[in-house]
Amino acid sequence: MSEPFGSVSELRSALDSGETSSRELIQRALERAAGVGERLSAFVGLQNEQALSAADAADARRAAGEVRSPLDGLPLAIKDNIVQQGEPAGCASRILEGYVSPFDSTAVAKLRGAGAVVIGRANMDEFAMGSSTENSAHGPSRNPWDPERSPGGSSGGSTAAVAADIVPLALGSDTGGSIRQPAAFCGVVGMKPTYGRVSRWGLVAFASSLDQIGPLGHSAADCAVLLDAISGHDPADSTSLPEPALTTASALTGDVSGLVIGLPREYFETEGADPAVLELVRAAAARLEAEGAKLVEVDLPHSRYAVAAYYLIATAEASSNLARFDGVRYGRRAEGAASLTDLYERSRSEGFGSEVKRRILLGTYVLSAGYYDAYYRKAQKIRTLLRRDFEAAFAGCDVLLTPTTPETAFRLGEKTEDPLTMYLSDIYTVSANLAGLPGVSLPCGLAEGLPVGLQVLGPPMEDATVLRVADAYQRLTDHHLARPEKLA
C-alpha cells in the first residue's frame, strides 16, 4: 500500500513548507477511495468535484496566509448518517433513497468553517443499528487487516477508511460502541465524547439519549484536534452542553504520573472473552503503571445488566425516532398503495432492513401498554444504577482501563444468524453511553495478526483526561503505527 498520510501535525508541516498541497492530498484520498476503498466498500458516495474545489480554496488561503485551523485543507470522511447540504443522506438504508439534505449538520458546518475537506460519505450499518456494518443496504464493509472479516460497526466504513489510509481522519457516531468497537477491530483510535459535548443537530437519530458524534484517527492527538473542532454548545440541540469548544489538544502532556487508573473486575472476568485480548490490556495497564500511574481494582456490579438495559432503551427510542420514515414526507414511497395505511406498511416493509425491523418491533413492544413497566422502566432503573456504579468507581480513580471488545474482528457472516451473540460484541462499550461518559479506544497490540483495542473511560466532562491517557500510552508504544499488510 502507499505510504501513510502521517499525523495532523506532519500534514500541516508539509502543507506549510510547500512540500505538498491540499489538492495533492485530496487527489490521493479520492484515488485511494476509488481503489482500495471500493474493495473495502468503505464509501457509499464520493464528492470528487466538491472536494477538489474545497482543496483549491484551502491552497489559496494558505498562499494568502489565511489558514483557518489545523484541519485546513485536510481530507476526511463523514458517516452516512451525518447530513451535508446538497448531499444524499441515506443512513445506508433503502427507505431514504433519493433524499438529499437541505442543510449541514452542526458538526459538518464546523468542519467546513475550519477548512476541512470532506471527500465522501462512509458506509455504515443501516441507521447505525449493528456491530459489523453487515446491515448496510450497500453491502458490508471489510476490515483492512483481513477483508474476510468485519471492520466492526456501525461506523465500519469510517473506520476502514482511516485504517486503510484513505483519509487521516473521519467522523462516526457512537450509540453503544459504534465508534470504539470498530476502532478496536481496525487498529485505530476512536472516541465517544461526553454526551452533549458535540451537537447532534443533523445526526439522523437512532437513540437520542445515547447517540454522540465522535472522531476517528490513527492517534489520540489527531482525534483531539478533530474533537476540538466539532465540540461546543449548539442552541439547535436541546441536549448540547452549555460549554465552550474543547481545547483537549493542549492537555496532551504525555504525563500520567500520579493518575489513578481503575481496572473493573467485571470487565476482566467476562465469560467468553479472549484471553489474548485480556493479556494485552493488562500489559498496557502495567506499562502505564511503570510510568507513574497507580493501578487499583474497582467494582461495577451492575455492568452485567448493561447490554440488556441498552437494547431495551435503544430500541424503544429507535421505535419512536424511526416512525418519521413513513413514505410520505421524504425518502422511499411505495407505488400502487391502496390506502394510506397500505402506503405506510409497504413503504416501511420495503425500505427497512431486517435488523432495523427487529429493533423497531422490540422497541414498540417494550413501550406498549402492559409491558412498559416490566421492561422499559426497569431498564431505566438499571441505567441509574450503572451511573451510580461509575460515580462510586471514579470517587477512587481518575479513569478506567478496560478491553474495548471481548475478541478481535470476527469473520463476515459469523454472527449474522445469532443477533444475541452479535449484541454481546458491545458488552464493554454500552455502559459508557448509558452513563454519558467519554471513552476512547486505541490499539494495544495484535492477537494472531489482528488488532486489539484498549478502552479508556473517564467521568463526564473529562474528555481531555481520557485523551491524555491514550496519548501518553501512544508515546510509549508504536502499536498505532502498524498498518494492515493485506492491502499491499
Condensed to tens digits (0 to 9), the pLDDT of residues 327-363 reads 998 899 999 999 999 999 999 999 999 999 999 999 9
Region 436-463: mean pLDDT is 98
Q: What percent of the chain clears pLDDT 90, i.e. is strictly above it? A: 95
**Residue 401 and residue 404: Cα distance in Å, rounded?**
9
The answer to whether 344 and 331 have CB atoms below 8 angstroms apart is no
Residue 311 lies in a domain: no
Residue 109 lies in a domain: yes
Number of domains in the chain: 1
Specify the pLDDT at position 60. 98
Neighbours of 421 (CB within 10 A): 14
Specify the pLDDT at position 424. 87
Residue 419 has pLDDT above 90, yes or no: no
The answer to whether 182 and 91 have CB atoms below 8 angstroms apart is no
Region 189-215: mean pLDDT is 98
Quick check: is 178 catalytic? yes
Quick check: is 199 catalytic? no
**Residue 185 and residue 442: Cα distance in Å, rounded?**
10
Region 254-265: mean pLDDT is 97
Q: Supply angle C-alpha 447, 452, 455, rounded to 5.
A: 150
Which helix (H) or strand (E) segment holds residue 287: the answer is: helix 275-290
Average pLDDT, the chain: 96
53, 93, 366, 156: CA torsion to nearest 10 = -60
Specify the pLDDT at position 488. 53
Residue 177 lies in a domain: yes
pLDDT tens per residue across span 70-96: 999 999 999 999 999 999 999 999 999
For residue 345 the three cell numbers come to 406498511
**Residue 116 and residue 463: Cα distance in Å, rounded?**
22
**Residue 151 and residue 92: Cα distance in Å, rounded?**
16
**Residue 262 and residue 151: Cα distance in Å, rounded?**
28
Quick check: is 257 catalytic? no
CATH at 167? 3.90.1300.10
pLDDT band at 1 (very low <50, low <70, confident <90, very high): very low
| Annotated active-site residue in 136, 178, 240, 347 | 178
408 backbone dihedrals φ, ψ, rounded to 5°: -80, 180
Residue 128 lies in a domain: yes
User: In 4-68, which ranges are E strands?
Assistant: 43-46
Q: Which domain holds residue 13?
A: 8-253+481-487
Region 278-295: mean pLDDT is 98
Q: What percent of the chain clears pLDDT 70, i.e. is strictly above it? A: 99
Residue 259 lies in a domain: no
Residue 487 has pLDDT above 80, yes or no: no
| Annotated active-site residue in 21, 22, 79, 347 | 79
Residue 423 lies in a domain: no
DSSP line for 99-133? -B-SS--HHHHHHHHHT-EEEEEEP-SGGG--SSS
| Annotated active-site residue in 101, 150, 154, 441 | 154
Residue 73 lies in a domain: yes
pTM above 0.75, yes or no: yes
The answer to whether 225 and 193 have CB atoms below 8 angstroms apart is no
**Residue 202 and residue 461: Cα distance in Å, rounded?**
22
Residue 167 lies in a domain: yes
pLDDT band at 2 (very low <50, low <70, confident <90, very high): low
Region 251-267: mean pLDDT is 97
Looking at per-residue pLDDT, the higher value among 4 and 165 belongs to 165
**Percentages of the chain per state (helix, strand, coil), in multiples of 5:** 45, 15, 40
